[in-house]
Structure formats: structure tokens, C-alpha cells
Amino acid sequence: MADTAEIGVFGGSGFYSLLDDVREIKVDTPYGPPSDSLFLADVAGRKVAFLPRHGRRHTIPPHKINYRANVWAMKSLGVKAAISPCAAGSLQLGVKPGDFVVCDQFVDRTSGRPHTFYDGPIVTHLSSAETYDPVLRQLAIETIRDHGIEVHERGTVVVIEGPRFSTKSESKWFSDAGWEVINMTQYPEAWLCRELGIAVVNISLITDYDAGVHEGTEAVNATDVLEVFQANAARIQAVVLDLIGRFPADLAALGAGAALGPTRGDGHIIAAEDIRLFETGL
């Protein structure tokens, strides 16, 4: 029987290490190898694929992740909805380390990352106004709240190139803009999911205040980030696994695939032989 999954999770080995009957598979893509093997398991009666975005030993820095291969690999298994949890910094004093944020917007401040599947010859323009799925976001909010965790129901994540952290001036700029969260991996990961018709939801686990921009807070460093993340790892794992069981039975009804229909942007009449990427089934 072919290896398949309906839900994908981008995250470390902690999400599947305690599950039974986990199968490791290799997936090839036209964009090269993904960050690691994919790990398949049943969770709450759903077929789930887990992929460590940085590799299982966290050896791939954010600017070197092969995001297109990762998302393509998920889609090739049949994934229709994905959870994209991440560690992130806070840009606002009210968003505290240990809080969770269910982001609804992103701002791209990366540079040079391959960030689209649509390189022609059929020109494709897809709206990014609502990249994060509203139904999955509401389910995530309810799940986090049920676990007794402080949750911010919306937030804008500004995605920086990394691997360096922000300067104080950059951090102040982002904070003054009113954005709440800063991270190095949400773009283009979440966007590429949308390009292939995968509904996606982000849960940001806040580990620090970025660059010490707020009075009385220290500038972020990698050791402190890791310490806070490890202290909260069990909480994010429990939330993600619980959330999977709350996903709608009909994932296609979320509409991520249907949103790709009116995206042809080259002005030509659509002919029968013009098969676009998302219509191939990969």
C-alpha cells in the first residue's frame, strides 16, 4: 500500500517520538531532498506525516532549509492540511515568554530564499491576504485555551533571514510597526503550503523578547531561547497532537485547494492541454 498522509506537521522529533508504530520513509522531490525523512503515524484516527524542518538533529539553519522540498514532500503524500509550530520572539511587552500566538498574518523580511513553485510557463498569482486558515486557527485557539496556556488569538509574524538575531534598531522598527512575533522559518514555509493548496495553521511558542527592545528585558541569545523552548516542549507537543484530533473530517472543505483555481495571470485562454501544477496531483 502506498504511503499516504492527510495532515502534516513541520517540527522536531518530539512530536512523534512518543507515538506508537511510527514509520520512517524517504521522499524524493524535484527540488532535492527534504530536511529529513518523513515519519508517518496515526494520531486520533488521522494519518499524519511529521517532518523535522531543521533535520532530526537540528543541523540545518533556517536560511538553508529546503522549504520547497519539504512542502512538496508533504503534498506528494496527500497532505491537505498542515500545522506549522515554531519557536519565536516577542515584539510586544504583552506577549510574554511562554505564551502561544496563533498568527494570522506574516511580513516577509527574508532575502534570497526560493519562495515559489510557480516559475512558469503558466503565470500564477495567488492571494496571500489570508495565508493562515481561519477554521484551523480557531481550532488551535480553542485547543491551546483548553490546555490552560495563555494564547493570543491573532498576531503578525515578521520573518527575518537569520541566522543572526535582529539589531536593536531593527527590533524597534518591527515593534513600532505593531507586529507581535518574530521568527526565521514561517516564510516561505507557510506560503508554499498555500501555493500547493494545503491549509496551514501556525502556533508560535514565545521564547524571548527580541533584542531587549523593551525596558527591563535582555537581548535575545540562543542559549536562553533553547532553555525556554525545552521547558515548554511538552506543552506544544500536547497541543499539536490534541489539535490533530480536532481537525475537520473533510479537509478539502477548508477551501485551500479551491483557492488555486482563479490564479492564472498570463492573460491567455485556458486550453485543455494547460495543466497547472496543482492540478497534476504531483
Of the residues 28, 133, 210, 224, only one is catalytic, namely: 210
Listed in order, strand segments (DSSP E) in the chain are: 7-10, 23-25, 38-43, 46-51, 81-90, 100-101, 105-109, 151-152, 156-160, 181-183, 199-209
User: Is the omega angle on the peptide bond into residue 34 within 30 degrees of 0, that is, cis?
Assistant: no
Q: Residues near 222 by Cβ (< 8 Å), separated by ≥ 6?
A: none
Q: C-alpha distances in angstroms, 75 versus 5, 103, 189, 282?
A: 9, 22, 13, 8
187: Cα separation from own chain's centroid: 8
3-state DSSP helix/strand/coil % of the chain, to nearest 5:
30, 20, 45
**Residue corresponding to grid cell 514565545:** 206
36 is catalytic: no
Of the residues 104, 146, 208, 250, only one is catalytic, namely: 208
**Residue corresponding to grid cell 488551535:** 140
Residue 113's identity, in one-letter code, is: R
φ/ψ region of 268 (left if φ > 0, alpha if ψ in -120 to 50, else beta) reads beta
28 is catalytic: no
Active site residues: 208, 210
